[in-house]
Amino acid sequence: MEKNNVHIDRNEVVIHVDNVSKSFGSLHVLRDVDVKLFKGENLVVLGRSGTGKSVLIKLISGLLTPDKGHVRVLGETVNELDERALRTLRQRIGFSFQNSALYDSMTVRENLEFPLVRNKRNLSRAEINKEVEEVLEGVGLSQAINQMPSELSGGQRKRIGIARTLILRPDIMLYDEPTAGLDPITCLDINTLINEVQERFNTSSIIITHDLACAKMVGDRMVMLLDGKFERQGTFKEIFDTDDARVKSFYDYNFIV
Amino acid sequence: MGSKIEKLLIEFARIHRFMMSFLREAVSPPYEFKEIIRQCYEIGWKSFPLISLTGFIVGFVFTKQSRPSLEDFGATSMLPALISIAIVRALAPLVTALIASGKVGSQIGAELSSMNVTEQIDAMEVSGTNPTKFLVSTRIVATTLMIPILCFYVAGIGLIGGYLSIVGKDDLSMLAFFTQVFETIAAKDVFAMVIRAVVFGFTIGFASSYVGYFSTKGTEGVGKAANSAVVSSMFLVFVEELLIVQLLALLN
């Protein structure tokens, strides 16, 4: 599927993960990782489970701090910000969690209102309602507004999770395994939604996945994490045009097995 | 041994940081009034049936058990005075705190731990909101407000239980019973009861929130957090009771 209306500005770096290393005890997850995300771009991070893909976006959002190196997001060094500045920066970053992380004691409406009413306190009730309805319509789930998260399917939960991040109109979107655990048709819907978000809001996104169909459909550029390092970067074709057995087996498993 | 001490020091540092974070968020605007009211309802109102039953039984049984000792000295007429002192000075705050540790502590521990496991706390964090303000401060404020109210209620229900136990054997009017009760209780006893209840309420909210918020990942962690919330709350309540009793004795 071809993408339209995507404007990638390769002169503007919105995220720079600058020689970052991260370990948990004796386990070295990321080793001197260096990657840039450009304005308007969808960057896919590929890799097997446990290779540190999710750690990377948690470092970007400030949920984890690097042992070495710097993470620069929208001109700010994340690991040097105080709590208040980090909170302000986070309003410009949308984070879609693997399991959606919807607040299960709240309805869909309350889930969407939660970040809005706490970050934009001057909005009137009518404006809040309008924003919620608009963003829900954008993900095609207007009818679910009063439902509880437990009443939704996996795909619907993913969409609501994305809607909740979009309500603050972020400049950057971070997707953690957006298609994990979904059937192929729902995967296609989510991938289409990711591309729509990029086109409509001109967001720059990092998509963490091991689903190559998703990577091929949404990614403008890809990087592959192998043994804690970005060993390969480029387009889908460039990444897999190699004799490296680790890369080939990853491809074969996705498309043949 | 060295690593154990290091772990203990790290734990103390984390508790201190959590406390400072709570204090900062509890007093700084904007306030989460709606969530505090919701938590007061969950913690206070929903505990009423259990608290009522327990308070009544404690008052009734305590009176029944105390009667033979007083009978030996021909002092059964002193029962209302004895009950009122026992209930207001010790039993009401302690029983309320222990019941709340079980019911409210496990609820807070499991709820926050489950939110941690399912990344809901991280989701709040990355959306630019403050989970400590919304999840922790509201719960601690609610327990600190509701346990004293429940404590007064337990004292009242316990006294009624005591009265019903007495009228089973003696001919005593309710007016005479409560006159003796209020003649015996001093203002400082009520004050001490409120102080105890406030301290216990804060402790239950804080300890349960802490273990839930920092629970280890996984479903096993949810069970452990609920269990740990109850055990640590009860343990701290007993320790505090001991310290408060000593402190009040010194002041007296």
Chain B residues whose beta carbon lies within 8 Å of the beta carbon of residue A57: none
Integer-rounded Cα Rg, in Å, for chain B is 21
Query: With an 8 Å Cβ cutoff, is B3 touching chain A?
Result: no
Q: B residues 110-139 near A, CB within 8 Å?
A: 115, 118-120, 122-130, 134
Model confidence over B59-115: pLDDT tens digits?
Answer: 999 999 999 999 888 888 899 999 999 999 999 999 999 999 999 999 999 999 999
Measure in Å the smallest separation between the Cα of B54 and chain A Cα atoms.
Answer: 29
CATH for A9-92+171-255 is: 3.40.50.300
Chain region(s) in chain A for CATH 3.40.50.300: 9-92+171-255
Tell me, yes or no, whether B31 lies in a domain. no
Tell me, yes or no, whether B5 lies in a domain. no
Give the three-state DSSP class for A25. Answer: coil
Give the three-state DSSP class for A77. Answer: strand
Tell me, yes or no, whether B20 lies in a domain. no
- CA B68 centroid distance within chain: 31
Distance, CA of A122 to CA of B22 (rounded, Å): 25
Question: Which residues, other chains included, contact A67 with Cβ-Cβ below 8 Å and sequence gap of 6+?
Answer: A21, A22, A23
pLDDT above 50 for A257: no
Tell me, yes or no, whether B30 lies in a domain. no
Tell me, yes or no, whether B8 lies in a domain. no
* pLDDT value, residue B76: 87
* pLDDT value, residue B123: 96
Question: Which residues, other chains included, contact B217 with Cβ-Cβ below 8 Å and sequence gap of 6+?
Answer: B116, B117
- The mean pLDDT values, 10 residues at a time, for chain B of 252 residues are 86 95 91 95 94 96 93 89 94 96 96 95 93 96 97 97 91 92 93 95 97 87 94 96 92 80
Tell me, yes or no, whether B17 lies in a domain. no
Structure-token pair, residue A182? 């979904």
* pLDDT value, residue B217: 67
Question: Which residues, other chains included, contact A21 with Cβ-Cβ below 8 Å and sequence gap of 6+?
Answer: A28, A30, A31, A32, A33, A66, A67, A68, A69
Considering only CB atoms, B126 lies closest to which of A95, A103, A104, namely A95
B165: containing domain? 36-251
Structure-token pair, residue A90? 């986070």
Whether the Cβ atoms of residue A228 and residue A52 lie closer than 8 Å to each other:
yes
* pLDDT value, residue A254: 65
Shortest CA distance to A77 belongs to which of A22, A126, A39, A20? A20
Whether the Cβ atoms of residue B145 and residue B245 lie closer than 8 Å to each other:
no
Distance, CA of A207 to CA of A220 (rounded, Å): 11
Considering only CB atoms, B128 lies closest to which of A88, A102, A121, namely A88
C-alpha distances in Å from residue A175, one per residue of A119, A141, A230, B28: 21, 19, 18, 33
Tell me what percent of the residues of chain A surpass a pLDDT of 90.
Answer: 74
Distance, CA of A200 to CA of A188 (rounded, Å): 18
Number of domain units in chain B: 1
The C-alpha angle B228, B232, B233, rounded to 5 degrees, equals: 115
Question: Which residues, other chains included, contact A104 with Cβ-Cβ below 8 Å and sequence gap of 6+?
Answer: A148, A149, A150, B118, B120
Model confidence over A187-232: pLDDT tens digits?
Answer: 999 999 999 999 999 999 999 998 888 999 999 999 998 888 888 8
Measure in Å the smallest separation between the Cα of B151 and chain A Cα atoms.
Answer: 29
* pLDDT value, residue A255: 62
Give the three-state DSSP class for A52. Answer: coil
Secondary structure element (H or E) that encloses residue A37, with its range: strand A27-39
For A93-117, give one letter per residue: b (16+ CB within 10 A) or e.
bbbbbbbbbbbeeebbbbbbbbbbe
Model confidence over A18-71: pLDDT tens digits?
Answer: 999 999 988 999 999 999 999 999 999 998 888 889 999 999 999 999 999 999
Chain B residues whose beta carbon lies within 8 Å of the beta carbon of residue A206: none
Distance, CA of A214 to CA of A78 (rounded, Å): 29
State the best of B118, B127, B134 to mutate against chain A, taking most chain A CBs within 10 Å.
B127
Q: Could you tell me which residues are beta bridge partners of residue A23?
A: A28
Chain B residues whose beta carbon lies within 8 Å of the beta carbon of residue A87: 128-130
Complex ipTM, two decimals?
A: 0.91
* pLDDT value, residue A240: 82
Distance, CA of B211 to CA of B14 (rounded, Å): 11
Query: With an 8 Å Cβ cutoff, is A87 touching chain B?
Result: yes
Nearest CA in chain B to A161: B123
Give the torsion sign (CA, A202, A203, A206, A210): negative
Distance, CA of A143 to CA of A136 (rounded, Å): 9
Task: Please write down the HEC assignment for all residues of A196-243.
Answer: HHHHHHCCEEEEEECCHHHHHHHCCEEEEEECCEEEEEECHHHHHCCC
Whether the Cβ atoms of residue A228 and residue A50 lie closer than 8 Å to each other:
no
Secondary structure element (H or E) that encloses residue B54, with its range: helix B48-72
Tell me, yes or no, whether B27 lies in a domain. no
Shortest CA distance to A105 belongs to which of B19, B193, B110? B110
**Which strands make up the sheet holding A221-226, listed edge to edge?**
A93-96, A172-176, A204-209, A42-47, A221-226, A229-234
Q: How many CB pairs below 8 Å do chains A and B form together?
A: 59
